[in-house]
C-alpha cells in the first residue's frame, strides 16, 4: 500500500479554515493569540481554537498549533497552562521551538504530541535524534536543507518540509536583523521583514548596486513534486499564515490535485491555468529553493507580489492611461505598473472607442482613468501586471461542500426489526428500527430503500456504497426508514465525537537562584592581533572563529574554538575547548571535549538554560533578545554569560548570493546604516549595523558569571580601550 503523505496547510484566521478543509488539506497549522511565530496574523482565540479543532476533526483533518517562539521566564506558567488547554481539547500536535518548554511538556503532558519547529534549526542527525529520543514525533527541517540532506538524516521520526510559499533569506531561528534594528523579533513572531527593503551593496569604497538584495523568490516545488513524494517525507507544508484565503484555496487545490494523481500512480501534471492561478494569488517569481538545489533563490528587482504580465502602456495623458493587452483584464482587477511600481484598481475600463466595458481580451487596446495624474515618463512603455484577479477570487471563494464518505448495510425480514449499519472511516454504528411486515399490496423495492437511506441532506456525509439484504414481498413504511436513517446518523455523530479528557494540575519545578560574586570576562576575536591583546590582558575565555588560529594558540587554557552553525557532518575533536552554536554540536562533542554554549542557541529562560547546561555545556551565553528587565529575571546567573559589547551576527545565509570576496563589503539601507558582510566557508554573515554597548551600566549585570565582548573590526588600540573600560566599570 502506498504511503500517505500529509498535505499541511496554513490557516491564519477563522475565515480561512473552511477554505483549507474544502480544498483538500490533510492537516492545518494555526496559532493562538500568543506564543506563535506569526504574531501579526489574526490568529485564533481559545474559543475559536476549540471550534476549529471540532470542525477539523469532524472532517478527518488534523490540527497543529504553533507555540514556536522563544519564551521568557515570566511566560512559562501561562504557556504550560495553554498547552494543557490544547491537550484537553484534543489538538493533534503542538509545534515548538523553545528547548526548555519542550522538556517541560514531555514531563508534564507526555501524551501531547510535539513537532519541533524549523525555528529550532533542524538540519542534522545529532540534533534530530535527540528530539526523537525525547519523544517528539516530528521535525520541521530548515528551508535551507536539500532533499538529499534530508533523506540522509537516518532517524526514525516524521519529516516535514516546506514545499511552497515565502522563503526567509536567513536560516530560521538564526535571524536577528529585525530584532536588532527595530525591536521586532523574528524569534518572537514579530519580524518586520527588513530583508524585503532596498539596500545598496558596497564593496571596498564602491557602490555596486541598489536593489532588493536580500529579498527571496517564492518557493514552488510543483515541477518536481514527484521526487519529494518519492522521498522519505511524511508531511509537505505550505507557508502562508499571513496570506489570503484565495491564496490558501489556490495553492491547496493544486497540490491536492497532484497528490491525488500520485496516489493513482499517474504522471504528475498541472496546466497553465493552475500555474496562472498560483501566480495571481501571490508570487515573487518562483524558485525550487534549496530543497531542490536551485541555482538562485533571490529576486532582487522587486520584493512585493508580482502577479502576471497582462500588457504594456502605449499612451499616457493627463486623463487616461492606454494599455495594449497580452492577457485579459476585468473591472475590479488590480494592476501594477512595473516602471514606477505603483498600483491601482480597475474601477472604470474603456475600450478603444472610449466606451465603458466590463472586460477586455488579449490584443485589445483599453484605457483607464489617470486618477493619480501620473506623468508620461512615469508610465510610457511600462509593463503592466495583474496583481488581483477579481473573477478568480470570486471562484476561489466559492467553497465546495465537504462531505465524508460512508458505507451502509441494511437488512430487513418478516417479523424482525430492520437493521442499518453505517461505517465512516474507522467508526461503525448499528441501529435497529421497527418490525418489517409482509406486503399486503405493493412491496417495497431495494431501489426505494436505497433512495431513502441516501438522503443525508445537511449532514456531514454522503453514501459511497450501500448494500441491501431484503426478503421478498416485504413492506416497510417510508417514515420508519427515515427514522432509522436519522437515528443511525445521530449515533454516528455521537461515536465520532471526542470524549472529554480528565483535567490535571501542573506545578513547574522550582528554579534555585544562583549568582557569581564577581563576573569573569570573555571575548570573541576575529584577528590574531585581537587575540594577542586578549591574552595580554589574561581574559578568562577567548573565543576564536578560525580553526587554524585555535590550534596555534590552544596551549592557552582560556582559548576556545567557536564552531559553525550549520553541520551535516562533524570533524573529530578530542579534548578540545569548543564554543557550540547549535544543538547537534553539543551532542556530538560533549563526551570528549569541554563545551560552552553560544547565543545562537536562543536560550531565553531558566528552564532552557538548565537543560542546555545539562547536555554538557559548562556555561551558556543567553539570547541577545533579552531586555534589561528579562535578564534581571534570570535566576541562574551563575551558569550564564551575556554579551555587553560588540557587533552581532544578524543573519546567516547559505551560499554567497551577494558574491562577497576578500575586500570589505557592506549593505547600506535607505537611512544610511551600514551592515558589514562576511563570506566564510559557504555561508554569508550579515552583521548588525550598530554595536551593543552596555559598558557604562555594567554593574546592573553583576551576578552573571561571564560578561562578553564580541569584536569585529576593532584594531589593537580599540580592543584595549574596550577591555579597559569594562574592567574600570567593574570596580
> pLDDT (tens digit, 9 = 90+) per residue, 395-409?
999 988 889 999 999
How far is Cα 544 from Cα 528, in angstroms, rounded to an integer? 9
Grid coordinates belonging to 114: 510535539
How far is Cα 144 from Cα 125, in angstroms, rounded to an integer? 15
Domain boundaries, the chain: 6-167+216-289, 174-210+648-690, 308-396, 404-496, 520-644+695-730
Residue 502 has pLDDT above 90, yes or no: yes
Instruction: Please say whether the beta carbons of 209 and 224 come within 8 A.
Output: no
Grid coordinates belonging to 509: 519545578
Give the DSSP H/E element, type plus range, for residue 665: strand 665-668
Confidence bin at 1 (pLDDT 50/70/90): low
Model pLDDT, residue 442? 85
Grid coordinates belonging to 281: 494569488
Grid coordinates belonging to 90: 484534543
CATH superfamily of 308-396: Translation factors (2.40.30.10)
Model pLDDT, residue 655? 96
Task: Give the burial class of 699: count Cβ atoms within 10 A of its Cβ; 0-12 exposed, 13-18 middle, 19 or more buried.
Answer: exposed
Tell me how many degrees the CA angle 517-522-523 measures, rounded to the nearest 5: 155
Helices 716-730 and 528-536 pack at an angle, to 10 degrees, of 30
Grid coordinates belonging to 545: 572563529
Residue 567 has pLDDT above 90, yes or no: yes
Model pLDDT, residue 37? 64
> pLDDT (tens digit, 9 = 90+) per residue, 277-298?
999 999 999 999 999 999 889 9
Q: HEC profile for 702-726?
A: ECECEEEEECCCCCHHHHHHHHHHH
Residue 415 has pLDDT above 90, yes or no: no
Model pLDDT, residue 257? 97
| CATH, domain range 6-167+216-289 | 3.20.20.70
Grid coordinates belonging to 499: 470524549
Maximal C-alpha separation, the chain? 112
Residue 589 has pLDDT above 80, yes or no: yes
In percent, the amount of the chain with pLDDT more than 90 equals 93
Q: HEC profile for 101-138?
A: HHHHHHHHCCCCCEEECHHHCECCHHHHHHHHHHCCCE
Confidence bin at 229 (pLDDT 50/70/90): very high
Residue 697 has pLDDT above 70, yes or no: yes
Stated pTM of the model: 0.94
Q: Please enumerate in sequence order all residues whose Cβ is within 8 A of that of 269, keeping only pairs 6 or more positions apart, or say none.
A: 258, 261
For residue 463, the SS3 value is: strand
Mean pLDDT calculated for residue range 217-241: 96
Model pLDDT, residue 38? 75
Residue 334 has pLDDT above 80, yes or no: yes
> pLDDT (tens digit, 9 = 90+) per residue, 33-45?
888 767 777 889 9
Fold classified for 520-644+695-730: TIM Barrel (3.20.20)
Please spell the DSSP secondary structure of 322-372, one letter per residue. EEEESS-EETT-EEEETTTTEEEE----B-TTS-B-SEE-TT-EEEEE-TT
Helices 99-108 and 125-134 pack at an angle, to 10 degrees, of 30
How far is Cα 680 from Cα 678, in angstroms, rounded to an integer? 6
> pLDDT (tens digit, 9 = 90+) per residue, 47-72?
999 999 999 999 999 999 999 999 99
How far is Cα 587 from Cα 617, in angstroms, rounded to an integer? 10
Mean pLDDT calculated for residue range 114-143: 97
Same fold, 6-167+216-289 and 308-396: no
Model pLDDT, residue 34? 85
Confidence bin at 451 (pLDDT 50/70/90): very high
How far is Cα 566 from Cα 174, in angstroms, rounded to an integer? 11
Mean pLDDT calculated for residue range 200-208: 96
> pLDDT (tens digit, 9 = 90+) per residue, 348-390?
999 999 999 999 999 999 999 999 999 999 999 999 999 999 9
Model pLDDT, residue 221? 97
Amino acid at each position: 500500500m502506498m504511503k500517505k503523505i500529509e498535505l499541511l496547510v496554513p490557516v491564519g484566521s477563522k475565515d480561512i479554515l473552511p477554505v483549507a478543509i474544502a480544498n483538500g488539506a490533510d492537516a492545518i497549522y494555526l496559532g493562538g493569540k500568543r506564543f506563535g511565530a506569526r504574531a501579526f496574523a489574526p490568529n485564533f482565540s481559545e474559543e475559536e481554537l476549540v471550534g476549529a479543532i471540532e470542525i477539523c476533526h469532524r472532517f478527518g483533518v488534523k490540527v497543529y498549533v504553533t507555540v514556536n517562539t522563544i519564551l521568557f521566564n515570566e511566560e512559562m506558567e501561562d504557556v504550560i497552562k495553554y498547552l494543557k488547554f490544547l491537550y484537553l481539547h484534543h489538538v493533534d500536535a503542538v509545534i515548538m521551538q523553545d528547548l526548555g518548554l519542550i522538556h517541560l511538556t514531555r514531563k508534564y503532558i507526555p501524551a501531547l504530541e510535539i513537532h519541533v519547529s524549523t525555528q529550532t534549526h533542524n538540519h542534522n542527525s545529532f540534533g534530530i535524534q535527540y528530539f526523537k529520543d525525547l519523544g517528539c514525533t516530528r521535525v520541521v527541517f530548515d528551508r535551507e536543507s536539500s532533499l538529499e540532506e534530508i533523506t540522509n538524516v537516518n532517524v526514525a521520526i516524521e519529516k516535514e518540509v516546506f514545499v511552497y510559499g515565502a522563503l526567509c533569506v536567513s536560516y530560521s531561528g538564526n535571524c536577528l536583523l529585525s530584532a536588532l534594528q527595530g525591536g521586532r523579533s523574528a524569534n518572537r513572531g514579530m519580524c518586520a521583514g527588513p530583508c524585503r527593503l532596498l539596500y545598496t551593496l558596497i564593496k571596498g569604497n564602491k557602490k555596486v548596486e541598489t536593489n532588493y538584495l536580500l529579498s527571496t523568490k517564492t518557493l514552488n516545488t510543483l515541477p518536481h513534486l514527484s521526487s519529494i513524494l518519492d522521498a522519505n517525507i511524511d508531511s509537505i507544508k505550505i507557508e502562508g499564515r499571513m496570506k489570503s484565503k484565495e491564496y490558501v484555496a489556490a495553492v491547496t487545490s493544486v497540490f491536492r490535485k497532484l497528490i491525488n494523481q500520485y496516489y493513482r500512480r499517474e504522471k504528475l501534471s498541472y496546466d497553465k491555468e493552475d500555474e496562472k492561478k498560483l501566480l495571481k494569488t501571490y508570487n515573487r517569481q518562483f524558485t525550487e529553493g534549496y530543497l531542490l538545489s536551485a541555482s538562485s533563490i533571490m529576486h532582487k528587482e522587486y520584493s512585493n507580489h508580482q502577479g502576471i504580465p497582462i500588457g504594456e502602456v502605449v499612451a499616457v495623458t493627463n486623463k487616461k492611461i492606454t494599455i495594449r493587452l497580452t492577457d485579459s483584464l476585468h473591472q475590479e482587477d488590480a494592476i501594477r505598473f512595473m516602471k514606477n511600481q505603483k498600483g491601482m484598481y480597475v474601477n472604470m475600463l474603456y475600450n478603444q472607442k472610449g466606451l465603458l466595458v466590463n472586460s477586455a481580451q488579449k490584443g485589445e487596446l483599453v484605457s483607464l482613468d489617470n486618477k493619480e495624474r501620473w506623468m508620461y515618463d512615469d508610465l510610457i512603455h511600462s509593463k503592466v501586471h495583474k496583481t488581483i484577479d477579481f473573477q478568480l477570487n470570486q471562484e476561489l471563494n466559492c467553497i465546495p461542500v465537504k462531505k465524508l464518505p460512508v458505507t451502509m448495510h441494511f437488512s430487513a425480514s418478516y417479523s424482525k426489526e430492520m437493521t442499518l449499519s453505517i461505517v465512516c472511516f474507522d467508526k461503525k454504528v448499528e441501529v435497529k428500527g421497527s418490525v418489517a411486515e409482509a406486503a399486503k399490496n405493493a412491496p417495497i423495492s431495494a431501489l426505494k430503500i436505497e433512495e431513502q437511506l441516501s438522503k443525508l441532506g445537511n449532514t456531514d456525509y454522503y453514501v459511497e456504497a450501500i448494500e441491501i439484504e431484503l426478503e421478498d414481498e416485504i413492506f416497510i413504511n417510508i417514515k420508519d426508514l427515515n427514522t432509522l436513517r436519522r437515528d443511525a446518523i445521530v449515533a454516528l455523530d455521537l461515536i465520532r465525537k471526542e470524549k472529554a479528557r480528565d483535567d490535571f494540575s501542573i506545578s513547574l519545578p522550582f528554579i534555585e537562584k544562583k549568582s557569581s560574586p564577581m563576573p569573569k570576562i570573555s571575548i570573541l576575536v576575529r584577528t590574531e592581533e585581537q587575540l594577542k591583546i586578549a591574552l595580554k590582558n589574561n581574559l578568562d575565555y577567548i573565543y576564536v572563529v578560525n580553526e587554524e588560529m585555535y590550534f596555534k594558540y590552544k596551549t592557552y587554557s582560556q582559548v576556545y574554538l567557536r564552531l559553525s552553525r550549520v553541520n551535516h557532518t562533524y570533524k573529530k575533536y578530542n579534548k578540545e575547548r569548543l564554543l557550540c552554536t547549535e544543538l547537534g554540536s553539543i551532542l556530538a562533542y560533549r563526551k570528549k571535549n569541554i563545551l560552552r554554549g553560544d547565543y545562537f542557541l536562543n536560550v531565553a529562560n531558566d528552564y532552557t538554560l538548565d537543560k542546555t547546561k545539562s547536555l554538557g555545556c559548562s556555561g551558556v551565553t543567553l539570547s541577545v533578545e533579552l531586555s534589561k528587565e528579562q535578564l534581571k529575571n534570570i535566576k541562574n546567573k551563575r551558569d550564564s554569560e551575556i554579551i555587553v559589547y560588540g557587533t552581532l551576527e544578524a543573519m546567516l545565509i547559505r551560499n554567497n548570493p551577494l558574491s562577497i570576496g576578500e575586500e570589505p563589503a557592506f549593505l547600506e539601507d535607505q537611512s544610511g546604516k551600514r551592515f558589514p558582510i562576511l563570506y566564510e566557508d559557504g555561508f554569508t554573515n550579515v552583521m548588525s549595523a550598530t554595536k551593543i554597548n552596555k559598558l557604562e551600566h555594567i554593574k546592573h549585570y553583576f551576578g552573571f558569571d561571564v560578561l562578553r565582548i564580541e569584536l569585529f573590526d576593532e584594531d589593537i588600540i580599540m580592543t584595549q580601550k574596550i577591555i579597559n573600560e569594562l574592567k574600570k566599570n567593574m570596580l
